[in-house]
């Protein structure tokens, strides 16, 4: 294996990162926490003072996200900080990770830490750090931007989604949108979350109960059409419309599937045409379907009788369009005229 040497011709204006931090702490932390710590080291190397708002603006983070990172590093023993009663940052001390014995002094009990300073307060309640880490494992990347962290706060703080529902939402979005850019994925997650909230879904059990008719419809579709592969997005979209938007029961769907399966080239469009007529006819039961069928048969029968009557009706005298051959008054022949013509032709 080749070994790589690193060098530079530029001036060595560096911010030093302790080796112990890289070896023991960096691999377990997400990108947003690392960025906060590196910025603190940068300020420390120049001996600069800073305010929380300045750090938030420079990193494009919310102040509550920076506080969450500081709490994480304090829990790990990498730093210590204190706040006043309003939650403003007062002091910040980075632990010297270059000392060999520093690791023995790092652990501080949660009880002592809480007694030393008031607990930071979010708008309502902060998502637990374990939830953030689980979401990052689901995405297989850290929540590195302010918008991603704000979205998680929105789901947890404002919509009051429990942890298992939030994790399912992220997994659901990944499966349906693929590995799309974070911006598009966040928009999709927010849209789905709002739909669930409007539908009264407040737990994973609520979601499973609401999805039960859809799952049964999908199983019914596979069984009737002997479909062994996973349903594609187009098929799922049709099923959602039939089950969710039009609220058709399983027996109505089975009747539509059965009729479509009798056609050699049936597809979801054909099924949708059937169900669209039933939806417009306000079909709720199989009896309603039979009523529509009888009305349709009656219309077909009346149309056939009308066409038959039209064929038996005497053909009216046609009037040709005027042209150079018939643009004059036509002579009309009587029975006597035809009899005289016939006598003359027989004599000749």
DSSP three-state, residue 94: strand
User: What pLDDT does residue 310 have?
Assistant: 67
One-letter-per-residue 3-state SS of 263-276? CCCCCHHHHHHHHH
Are 19-116 and 129-202 equal in CATH topology? yes
Q: How many CA atoms lie within 13 A of 117 on its CB side?
A: 19
User: What pLDDT does residue 111 have?
Assistant: 31
pLDDT in tens, 95-129: 888 765 444 444 433 333 333 323 334 544 567 77
User: What pLDDT does residue 272 have?
Assistant: 93
CATH no. of 129-202: 1.10.10
Tokens 């926490």 sit on residue: 33
Q: Give the chain's end-to-end CA distance (angstroms, integer).
A: 121
CATH no. of 19-116: 1.10.10.10
Tokens 């199989």 sit on residue: 286
Question: Mean pLDDT, the chain, as a whole number?
Answer: 79
User: What pLDDT does residue 107 have?
Assistant: 44
As to burial, measured by CB atoms within 10 angstroms (0-12 exposed, 13-18 middle, 19+ buried), residue 173 is buried
Cα distance between residue 213 and residue 205, in whole Å: 14
User: What pLDDT does residue 211 have?
Assistant: 83
pLDDT in tens, 218-250: 999 999 988 888 788 788 889 988 988 888 999
Q: Name residues of the chain where pLDDT drops below 50.
A: 1, 4-6, 101-121, 123-124
User: What pLDDT does residue 129 have?
Assistant: 78
Query: Residue 26 has which token pair?
Result: 């960096």
**Domain-wise residue ranges, the chain:** 19-116, 129-202, 205-299
pTM greater than 0.75 (yes/no): no
User: What pLDDT does residue 120 have?
Assistant: 37
């Amino acid at each position: 294996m080749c070994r790589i040497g690193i060098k530079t011709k530029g001036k060595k204006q560096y911010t030093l990162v302790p080796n112990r931090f890289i070896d023991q702490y960096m691999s377990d932390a997400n990108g947003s926490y690392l960025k906060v710590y590196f910025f603190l080291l940068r300020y420390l190397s120049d001996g600069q003072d800073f305010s929380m708002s300045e750090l938030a603006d420079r990193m494009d983070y919310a102040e509550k996200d920076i506080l969450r990172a500081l709490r994480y590093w304090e829990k790990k023993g990498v730093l210590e900080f204190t706040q006043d009663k309003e939650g403003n940052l007062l002091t910040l001390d980075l632990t010297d990770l270059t000392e060999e014995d520093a690791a023995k002094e790092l652990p501080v009990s949660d009880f002592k830490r809480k007694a030393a300073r008031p607990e930071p307060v979010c708008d309502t309640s902060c998502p637990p750090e374990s939830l953030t880490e689980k979401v990052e494992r689901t995405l297989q990347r850290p929540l590195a931007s302010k918008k991603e962290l704000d979205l998680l706060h929105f789901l947890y703080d404002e919509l009051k989604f429990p942890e298992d529902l939030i994790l399912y939402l992220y997994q659901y979005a990944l499966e349906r949108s693929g590995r799309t850019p974070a911006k598009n994925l966040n928009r999709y997650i927010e849209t789905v979350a709002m739909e669930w909230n409007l539908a009264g879904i407040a737990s994973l059990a609520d979601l499973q109960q609401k999805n039960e008719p859809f799952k049964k419809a999908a199983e019914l579709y596979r069984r009737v059409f002997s479909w062994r592969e996973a349903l594609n997005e187009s098929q799922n979209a049709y099923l959602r419309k039939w089950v969710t938007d039009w609220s058709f029961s399983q027996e109505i769907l089975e009747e539509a599937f059965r009729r479509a399966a009798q056609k050699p080239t049936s597809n979801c469009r054909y099924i949708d045409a059937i169900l669209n007529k039933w939806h417009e006819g306000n079909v709720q039961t199989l009896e309603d379907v039979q009523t529509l069928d009888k009305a349709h048969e009656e219309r077909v029968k009346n149309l056939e009788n009308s066409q038959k009557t039209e064929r038996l009706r005497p053909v009216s005298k046609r009037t040709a369009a005027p042209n150079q051959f018939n643009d004059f008054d036509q002579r009309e022949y009587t029975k006597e005229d035809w009899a005289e013509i016939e006598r003359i032709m027989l004599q000749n």
